[in-house]
Amino acid sequence: MEDNNETEENTSDNSEETSNDYELERIRWEGKTSSPIGKTPFGFFDGDIQFTSFAPRAADWAAKRLGYPIVDVEMIDIQFYACFEEAVTEYSAQVNQFSIKQNLYSLRGTTTSVNLTTSVLQTQPLPFYLKLSEAYGAEVGAGGNVDWRKASLKVKKGVQTYDLQGLFDHCYKDAKTGQMRQEPIEVKRIFHEAPPSLNKIYDPIASGMTHQTVMNEFGWGNMSIAGSQFLLRPLNEDIMRLQAIEFNESVRRSAYSFELINNKLTLFPIPEKDYTLWFDYVFKRERDMAAVQGYVDAEDFNIIPKTQTEVTEETTEQVVIDRNNATQPDSHLHSDINEKKDDCDVYPSGSVTDFSNVPYQFHNFASINDVGKRWIMKYYLALCKELLGSIRAKYQSIPIPGGETSLDGDALRSEAATEKEQLITELREDLEVTSRSTTSESLNQISDNLQENLRKVPNFLYIG
């Protein structure tokens, strides 16, 4: 019975050893290459013929650099192809990061539907300047992307102070709190001015300018009026007269004036009769949206009626309207609009907003030159070392006939980490040399050196 038990134990041990040998043999590189199509984790380059033809040769090269066939390499084709795909994508990512940093200033707000990889870009920031000029234009009333709206105020006799915000009862739904809030405005211009100075340029009292006066100024006072009826004066003379009239109105007379603080309008002098005063304004929320998006949807604000509330106050310091009693006829419209707006992106769909959505994609392996492929091969070998080191680190030693041998997993991983860091640093330095700022400095230096060399060229004097 004991012999039978020993025989059974030996048979069991032999089967386990055979099984282990089979498993170990299965995970070792056998020197046979295969197609990488369908064997890479993501399949980014399955349609790239050069990648699919280059990857098997790269796997064979990496295995030999790792010691095959003198030593076993505990990797198979799928590991080699995974590392090769990662090496190509890392190279592409580093190049694209550099390109994005160089061009992001010019690409903000442009479409994301175009693949910019390997594209030659016109890096002048003209689109950005145009958008910036639109914002400034809207602020000063010289075009832009925000509507200047016009409203009127019924000025009452003896009433000097008015709350222009109180003329508007339009509300919107706050996206954060859900509360209804009043649509704030900002007054841009008040049409409370004295008659134009041009109306007084021929007023002999205001400007002292008469036909005979002009004749005398030019030394033609003794000439016939019939011979000077087509008198042509320089334009700057009219401008100087207009300025003189304006200064006279401002300094010597109590001209029309006003004070506007927080949309509270105070008129000077105190109105002595009823009249209509017009003013321009913008909606602050509309301007903020335009500043962020570069545009404003017509549905958001164009439905707001351009009306005004009649003035009902009786004293000079009362506001125009009691906000607590104000009706909100259009509040449901603005509620629906803002609920719809909450579901939309802040930026228009398909526009570059920041580093994350600039339309750069992985480079095709076929489009990468030999310099780039050489960097990829080095980085690929470092990745293979890292992976092989991680595999070998699982076992500090393995038994061999007559003893055991230690594995170099930790050493491989440390060596791979150093090589990867060095390669990334070198690539970034090479890319930085080609940046616009560095290139501009180099061109300036070349220009200076050329000028210095030309100064040393002897100049001959030619005497004819």
Read off the pLDDT band of 306 (50, 70, 90). very low
Residue 388 lies in a domain: yes
User: In this structure, are 73 and 141 located in the same domain?
Assistant: no
Residue 168 lies in a domain: yes
Global confidence as pTM? 0.54
Number of domains within the chain: 3
User: In this structure, are 200 and 296 located in the same domain?
Assistant: yes
- Alpha-carbon gap, residue 439 to 257, rounded angstroms: 57
User: In this structure, are 200 and 279 located in the same domain?
Assistant: yes
Residue 325 lies in a domain: yes
User: In this structure, are 219 and 190 located in the same domain?
Assistant: yes
Residue 161 lies in a domain: yes
Contact 368, 91 (CB under 8 A): yes
Q: Look at residue 163 in the predicted model and tell me its pLDDT.
A: 92
Quick check: 169 pLDDT over 60? yes
User: In this structure, are 181 and 247 located in the same domain?
Assistant: yes
- Alpha-carbon gap, residue 310 to 307, rounded angstroms: 10
- Alpha-carbon gap, residue 74 to 68, rounded angstroms: 10
Tens-digit pLDDT profile for residues 66-79: 999 999 899 999 99
Least confident of 209-213, 216-220, 381-385, 408-412: 209-213
Quick check: 48 pLDDT over 50? yes
User: In this structure, are 11 and 51 located in the same domain?
Assistant: no
The amino acid occupying position 401 is P
Query: Using a CB cutoff of 8 Å and minimum separation of 24, what contacts does 425-429 make?
Result: 426/375, 427/91, 427/94, 427/375, 428/94, 428/98
Quick check: 366 pLDDT over 90? yes
Residue 353 lies in a domain: no
User: In this structure, are 67 and 143 located in the same domain?
Assistant: no
Residue 313 lies in a domain: yes
Quick check: 113 pLDDT over 60? yes
User: In this structure, are 298 and 378 located in the same domain?
Assistant: no
**Structural domain containing residue 439:** 27-86+364-455
User: In this structure, are 277 and 423 located in the same domain?
Assistant: no
Residue 354 lies in a domain: no
Read off the pLDDT band of 187 (50, 70, 90). very high
User: In this structure, are 220 and 285 located in the same domain?
Assistant: yes
Residue 408 lies in a domain: yes
User: In this structure, are 189 and 218 located in the same domain?
Assistant: yes
Domain boundary among 311, 342, 373: 342
Q: Look at residue 18 in the predicted model and tell me its pLDDT.
A: 42
User: In this structure, are 307 and 409 located in the same domain?
Assistant: no
